[in-house]
Amino acid sequence: MALFNKIIATALPILPRWFVRPFANPYVAGETFEEAKYHIRALNEKGFKTTIDILGEHVESKEEARKITQAYCDLYASIEAEKLDCNVSIKPTHIGLSISLAETMANVHLIANAAKNTDNFLRLDMENSPYTDATFELLDHCKSIHAQTGIVLQAYLHRSMDDVHRLSASDFNVRICKGIYQESEQIAYQSETEISEHFFSLVQAVIKKSGYCAIATHDLTLVSKIESWVAENNIPKDQFEFQVLYGVPMEGRLESLAKKGYTVRIYVPFGSAWFDYSVRRLKENPKIISYVLKNFFKGK
């Protein structure tokens, strides 16, 4: 069965979208906010906080970047109207960073104001290394408008510890993740062991420098290591949170963390660009394929 799952996962990019859709459903909360809000509310009722993301990246026109920008501004208003425990994460290339920094700066200015007007949080996701420094420029601009703005640092990049030191000059909120892009060994760690060790060191550094740390990983061993460290060092529970992607199996660990009083936040993606995102998730976790097929034939 494992081999069958792997073969299907490899073939997914060339299969029809209608075929992939049932396998994508566990990872994507719908194509519209109207669909996604029900999943978010259900997570809130279970005690989880959420962050929402409109799927997509690398828009090719200013018109499309501005359309996505308006969608994010509207999203803040919708979250407030629905009284959801949810903040917002955006990919800079989704609002124009692969077009120009100036275009993105104008767009993120509007989004930061929307976050401020609704007293909500804004997270700037980090993409591959050509955009790292520009994303920090966007962060500085957003924070000049709205203090509740945070960034993401990737544990596989050598530079990330230096970035922690730079950010610690003021109040800062950082999500630490491992990183998903292919980067050269000149700038990035290549082994899982090195990346995990750097991840742990980054979490420790952010907390020791009085930053707020969003610990974003599905690595259960790493979660256990961090949980032990925060308990042994009496780290206040309001200085960090655990984050995971919507739909990724965690063997009951999220419920366990929440019962212990830790903040757990689920990253909930939605949107019409669900196909490529779902293919990535299914390649990472091919077991979901047999699970979906089993339920399908059971239903029949």
Tens digits of per-residue pLDDT, 158-205?
Answer: 999 999 999 998 899 999 999 888 889 999 999 999 999 999 999 999
Give the CATH number of the domain where residue 243 resides.
3.20.20.220
Task: Give residue 290's pLDDT.
Answer: 45
Tens digits of per-residue pLDDT, 233-287?
Answer: 999 999 999 999 898 888 899 999 999 999 999 999 998 775 665 555 555 545 4
Task: Give residue 11's pLDDT.
Answer: 55
Task: Give residue 181's pLDDT.
Answer: 82
Task: Give residue 236's pLDDT.
Answer: 97
Tens digits of per-residue pLDDT, 59-76?
Answer: 999 999 999 999 999 999
Residues 95 and 142 in one domain: yes
Residues 83 and 183 in one domain: yes
Provide the domain limits for residue 292: 1-8+16-28+271-300
Residues 150 and 239 in one domain: yes
Average pLDDT estimate for 9-31? 63
Task: Give residue 300's pLDDT.
Answer: 38
Catalytic residues: 125, 175
Residues 81 and 91 in one domain: yes
Question: Cβ neighbours of residue 204 under 8 Å, at least 6 residues apart?
Answer: 229
Cα separation, 156 vs 199, in Å, equals: 8
Cα separation, 77 vs 140, in Å, equals: 24
Cα separation, 26 vs 41, in Å, equals: 16
More confident residue, 38 or 19: 38
Residue 137 has pLDDT above 50, yes or no: yes
Residues 179 and 295 in one domain: no
Portion of the chain with pLDDT greater than 70, in percent? 82
Residue 12 has pLDDT above 80, yes or no: no
Tens digits of per-residue pLDDT, 145-159?
Answer: 999 999 999 999 999
Residues 224 and 107 in one domain: yes
Residues 294 and 161 in one domain: no
Residues 96 and 236 in one domain: yes
Residues 80 and 183 in one domain: yes
Residues 276 and 255 in one domain: no
Count of domains for the chain = 2
Task: Give residue 21's pLDDT.
Answer: 58
Residues 68 and 186 in one domain: yes
Residues 3 and 136 in one domain: no
